[in-house]
Homo-oligomer: A and B are copies of this chain.
C-alpha cells in the first residue's frame, strides 16, 4: 500500500463535501451543510474539520495527506495575493445578500487552508469540472475545449492551447454573465439584465413558464407547443452564448453538464448546434458538443482532480475509482 494520500473539498453555497483518496482511488466522502455563521474563518475551518473527519472515517493518518484540491463556488477576490471567496450565497455582507446570518464581505479560503496545506489548488467549480473532464472524462487530449454547466446557473471552465484559464482573480469562465440581450428584462442574481444566465437558467425558465424547469423541458420534448416555444428560445440563447465563446476563444469542443443538460441534452443539442453552425464558418467549422462523461460526480471528481498526482492519472482512467462515490 502506498503511504500517500490526497484530500479534496467541494464547497457549495448549500453543502460542503470532503473526500480522501489514495493511489487506488477515493476512500471516503462526508458532506455537511456549509456553515454560514461565526467569523469569516469559520467556513474554511469547517473544511479542515471535515477533512479530519473523513480521514478518520477512512483510517488515514491526518499528516499523510500530501495535497489538497478545492472546488468552490465563486466568485473569488484576491486578498494579499491569496484567493478569498465573495460568493453571494455565503457572504451576508455583500449587497443584496442580507438574508444570511453573517456580515462577511469575503472568506479567506486560501489563507486558512494554506496554514495546514502547502500543496493546495483552489478553483471555481466549473474550472475544476473542466480539469476533471480533461483528466478522466470526455476531453482527454483536447487542447481547445470548455466545460459548461446549465442548471440553476450557467458557468464555464475554459481551456485554450492546452492550458486551463484562471485570470486575474481566478474568475475566468464567468461567461454565464455575458450580456446577450438588450431588451429582455430577465434579471440575473448578479444584477445584470439580459445576461446568458438570466435568459436560460433553470430558475428563469421556470419563472417564465410558471412551472419547474424540469417539467417545462419535459413538456417541450413531448410536443406541448407553449412549452416548446420557451424551451427552444432558451436553447437559442444558450447556443448564442456558446457561439460567443467560440468567437472569443476559437474553442473546438464543449462538454456540457448540469441538471438541464443531464436530462435534456440529447433533445437540446441540435437546437444549440444550429445557433453555432449558422455563423462564421472559419470559427465554427468542426465545433462539437459532448455530454459530461463524469455526470453527477463531476463536482467531486473535479475537487480530486485538482490534487491528484500526475502519475496516478493513467490507472484512474482505467479503473474509474470515482464511481464508488456515487454510493458514498
Contacts and interface: CB of A to CB of B under 8 A. Distances in A.
Nearest to A286: B168
Chain A contact residues, majority secondary structure: loop
Interface stretch (A25-33, A129-137, A173-181, A289-297): A173-181
B283 A75 contact: yes
Interface string A237-273: 0001001110111111000000000000000000000
Contact of A77 (B156, B170, B282): B282
Contacts of A324: none
A283 B177 contact: yes
Contacts of A170: 250
A201 to B, nearest CB: 15
Interface stretch (A51-59, A158-166, A204-212, A224-232): A158-166
Nearest to A179: B240
A328 interface: no
Nearest to A87: B282
A77 B250 CA distance: 11
Given A181-B182, A244-B178, A244-B179, A167 B280 contact: no
Nearest to A143: B168
A14 interface: no
A165 B171 contact: no
A49 interface: no
A40 B166 CA distance: 40
A237 B114 CA distance: 42
5 contacts: A86-B282, A167-B251, A174-B283, A177-B283, A181-B182
Q: Sorted from nearest, which 10 A-B pairs have the closest CB atoms?
A: A167-B250, A75-B282, A171-B250, A144-B168, A175-B248, A178-B244, A172-B250, A168-B252, A177-B247, A160-B165
Interface of A: 74-77, 86, 143-144, 156, 158, 160-161, 163, 165-183, 190-192, 195, 240, 243-245, 247-252, 279-280, 282-283, 285-286
